[in-house]
């Protein structure tokens, strides 16, 4: 089993603090992308909205979530060792591998199964974990 990523907020407050801390990075990211796309001031003002910056912050937060990647057996063992977590799994139970994110702030484990496309599964799981677990927490 492998673990990658940085964020696994233990509390709702910690999740909100991490999310808020990413605001300035999201603004810089969007500004630099707009500069690389050669937006002039008028186009920047027209196209770069608060929603664009918020989306960048959402993506940054999701991309930093800590995930475990392992076999179906390793995931089942983790679940058996953590019975208080609500299990939310996407995919087929007939494949060999699972990627999962434990969200102590919500007592949820979000998981996605995969056979060959590890990177795709990791990205999908992070987006799903943000949307289904953290969005409501960080935007309250």
With the C-alpha atoms ordered 95, 1, 22, 16, is the resulting torsion angle positive or negative? positive
Rounded mean pLDDT of the chain?
95
- Can you tell me the distance from the alpha carbon of 117 to that of 104, in angstroms, rounded to the nearest whole number? 27
Three-state DSSP class for 13?
A: helix
Segment (H or E) for 103: strand 97-103
Q: Give the model confidence (pLDDT) of 62-79 as tens digits.
A: 999 999 999 999 999 999
Q: Specify the DSSP element, H or E, that contains 26.
A: helix 23-36
pTM: 0.90
Q: What are the boundaries of each domain within the chain?
A: 2-7+64-138, 23-62
**Predicted local confidence at residue 139, as pLDDT:** 86
pLDDT at 89: 93
pLDDT at 93: 86
Residues whose CB is less than 8 angstroms from the CB of residue 61 and which lie 6 or more positions away in sequence, other chains included: 7, 18, 19, 22, 130, 134, 138
pLDDT in tens, 4-60: 999 999 999 999 999 999 999 999 999 999 999 999 999 999 999 999 999 999 999
């Amino acid at each position: 089993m492998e673990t990658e990523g940085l964020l696994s907020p233990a509390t709702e407050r910690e999740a909100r603090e991490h999310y808020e801390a990413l605001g300035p990075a999201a603004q810089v990211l969007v500004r630099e992308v707009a500069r690389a796309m050669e937006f002039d001031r008028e186009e920047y003002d027209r196209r770069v909205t608060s929603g664009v910056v918020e989306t960048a912050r959402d993506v940054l937060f999701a991309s930093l979530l800590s995930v475990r990647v392992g076999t179906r057996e390793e995931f089942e063992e983790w679940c058996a060792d953590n019975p208080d977590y609500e299990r939310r799994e996407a995919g087929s139970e007939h494949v060999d591998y699972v990627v999962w994110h434990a969200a102590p702030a919500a007592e949820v484990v979000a998981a996605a199964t995969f056979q060959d496309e590890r990177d795709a599964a990791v990205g999908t799981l992070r987006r799903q974990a943000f949307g289904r677990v953290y969005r409501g927490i960080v935007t309250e």
